Amino acid sequence: MQQESTAKVKCRGINQIAIVVRNLQLVAENYWKILGIGPWSVFDWEAPLVYDRKYHGQATWAREKIALAQVGSVQLELVQPVDGDSIYQDWLDAHGEGLHHLNFLVDDVDETARLLAQEGFPSIQSGRFGPGEQKGAYNYVDIKPLRTIWEPVQMGDTIGADPKMYP
């Protein structure tokens, strides 16, 4: 008989693995040339596409470039901080380039963040993206006992912008 976890938040699958980089274009090219991963959808991750940003609970402004490629059932994301306060720049400063977070899909990102905060894991960065009526949102939580940052994400129907493609 299989046991059911008593966890208040349940991750039913890893949707995305993210890597923080200093040069998104170079790393996307390397993934394409070395492992054939791509094509990459590249976005300028900034206002007005991304809004209601919070960094350690405080309203903030920042810009990043992100690139997304599907690898089987998991999305690979490259994140390059461009300007402003962010956990991505914090990561580069503390650790250099490398694996940064895992994300999983949820129905209500605010409720998931509330439950994780009750367990002692407060949000370190959050925001919303895409058209407001679609309720796209993300929230990063450093769950130290799990040895990584986790990002619950609530998806809308679209990201709300057309990507540049590489190649």
123 contacts 110 by C-beta, under 8 angstroms: no
Token pair 């990043």 is found at: 64
Helix/strand/coil for 130: coil
CA R_g for the chain: 16
Residue 4 in domain = no
Residue 55 in domain = yes
Whether residue 132 is predicted with pLDDT greater than 90 in this model: the reply is: no
Confidence of residue 141 (pLDDT cuts 50, 70, 90): very high
Task: Give the C-alpha separation, 72 to 70, whole Å.
Answer: 6
Confidence of residue 160 (pLDDT cuts 50, 70, 90): confident
Exposure of 35 in the CB half-sphere (CA atoms within 13 A): 11
Overall domain count for the chain: 1
Residue 158 in domain = yes
Residue 139 in domain = yes
Instruction: For residue 43, give its domain range.
Output: 16-166
Cut 0.85: pTM above it: yes
CATH number of the domain enclosing 45: 3.10.180.10
Question: What is the CB neighbour count within 10 angstroms for residue 124?
Answer: 17
Residue 10 in domain = no
Angle at alpha carbon of residue 83, lines to 98 and 105, rounded to 5°: 55
76 contacts 68 by C-beta, under 8 angstroms: yes
pLDDT, one tens digit per residue, over 8-50 is 999 999 999 999 999 999 999 999 999 999 999 999 999 999 9
Task: Give the C-alpha separation, 122 to 100, whole Å.
Answer: 17
Residue 7 in domain = no
Chain mean position to CA 11: 15
Dihedrals φ, ψ of 136, to 5°? -70, 130
Residue 121 in domain = yes
Residue 9 in domain = no
Whether residue 134 is predicted with pLDDT greater than 80 in this model: the reply is: no
Task: Give the C-alpha separation, 54 to 122, whole Å.
Answer: 12
pLDDT, one tens digit per residue, over 47-93 is 999 999 999 999 999 999 999 999 999 999 999 999 999 999 999 99
pLDDT, one tens digit per residue, over 96-125 is 999 999 999 999 999 999 999 999 999 999
